[in-house]
Amino acid sequence: MKLAILNGHVTDPANQIDQTGHIYIDSGRILDSNVVAEGFRADHEIDASGLLVCPGLIDLSARLREPGQEHKATIASETRAAASQGITTLCCPPDTQPIIDTPAVARLIRQRAEQAGFARVIPLAALTQSLENKQLSEMAALKAAGCPAVCNTTPITNTAILRNAMLYAATQGMTVILPPVDHWLSHEGSAHEGAVATRLGLPGIPEAAETAAVARDLALAEQTGVRIHFARLSTAQAVRMVARARFDGIRVSADVAITSLFFTEMDVDGYDSTYHTSPPLRTQSDRDGLREGVAQGAISAICSDHQPHEADAKLAPFSATETGMSSLELLLPLTLRLVEEGVLSLSDAIARLSSGPAEVLGLDSGTLSPGQPADLCLIDPQAVWTFSHDQMLSRGQNAPCHDWEFKGRTCLTLLAGKPVYNTLDTRLTGQT
């Protein structure tokens, strides 16, 4: 199908484009608008006047719960929710059941995503077999099965094993994604170690649980030369450490969960288990430091850290509830809120959701470059709407921001040129 998207405000940070323009698509790929033949005749045209045209968004951390926990969510349900927010690529952490430590599981996840047809799913391979932090996974085979990075969802306490894993990953050209967490300082905690946790009687997780792990992992990365990525930083001090390491030439990047840019330890008050997260929500000073890191580029990506749960998972006493929020459908709205609040420019905001994540994993996506798959989204920046649990497409209803009013909403998502979410039928016309 040939498609023309006309007169939209094209924002493509990877190519430093931020202007009104046209996008032409043929056979699922983007054409060079400067060399489109005079004979090009679109099967359909979209009048994108007043709309933002952006690369499809990339989420570096979204638990889809399949395989193994389909009572919480499925690949089909969560990728459908992703498409409604302009997200065309999702990275699935390895703690599925079975764990992504064999090529067969990686291929299964990719096949299920292709069958659903709403978004691409990239499986992230386990750094160690069964995530037990004892024996290294077969990284070469996992890379061949479509895993561009390896990670552990739990901290590795044995430094020798982590060093060997980094050396192996370096030989394969794979990014090592690490949770910046010291096990011994964090495993018994459930909230940030501070005034709120003390007043509520909750076991605390100190700032040092993150900074100690970051310091160790940076030292190992400098020695081994591997590319590392810290997943979901939560403290301002860790941001400063990563910024300094990048300045010194260490191959390191980091992301932050979108919810950590808005919520703090104060939201835990009242034992609201919606805000029981890992890493925990930190202080307002930390939140401001994270925002500064995103604005200055020390943090190159914003992720959803999507963790859908059934209702019962959040009904126990605070420390006994399962961690995480259903935040996939908040990734774009909250990021646009950062633009509205003056924290980010629109171009930088889109970069943290597209070209930034793509660079972390070495992907060709996250751009509107000619020849690339036509993964893109159209956003109505003037649309005002209210986020409501009963309108969520995700199976997980454990989301914050209920009844929040947002400005800016996805109205079309294309995956390889195919509409996977569309509220623009009145603007989609056929050529005569």
Catalytic residues: 305
**CA–CA distance, 154 with 279 (Å, rounded to integer):** 11
> 236-247 and 208-224 helices cross at what angle (nearest 10)?
20
Q: Are 162 and 177 in contact (CB under 8 A)?
A: no
Angle 187-286-215 from CA coordinates, rounded to 5°: 55
Paired sense of beta strands 301-303 and 204-205, if any: unpaired
Q: Which of 352, 340, 412, 350 has the alpha carbon at shortest distance from 382?
A: 340
Q: Classify 263 as helix, strand or coil.
A: coil
DSSP 356: H
Which residues on neighbouring strands pair with residue 119, listed in sequence order? none
Strand ranges inside 27-172, DSSP E? 29-31, 44-47, 52-55, 57-59, 87-92, 120-123, 125-126, 149-151
| C-alpha distances out from residue 327 to 153, 187, 315, Å | 18, 24, 18
Beta bridge partners of 26: 2, 29
Token pair recorded at residue 236 = 């301002």
State how far the Cα of 48 lies from the Cα of 146, in Å rounded to an integer: 35
CA 30 to chain centre: 24
Strand partners, 385: 406
Are the CB atoms for 181 and 187 separated by under 8 Å? no
CA torsion, ordered 230, 231, 232, 234, to nearest 10 deg: -30
The string of DSSP letters for 151-213 reads E-SS----HHHHHHHHHHHHHHTPEEEE----HHHHTT--EETTHHHHHHTPPEE-THHHHHH
User: Is residue 410 a contact partner of residue 378, using CB atoms and an 8 Å limit?
Assistant: yes
- CA 54, 143, 113, 111 torsion-angle sign: positive
Is the Cβ–Cβ distance between 242 and 215 less than 8 Å? no
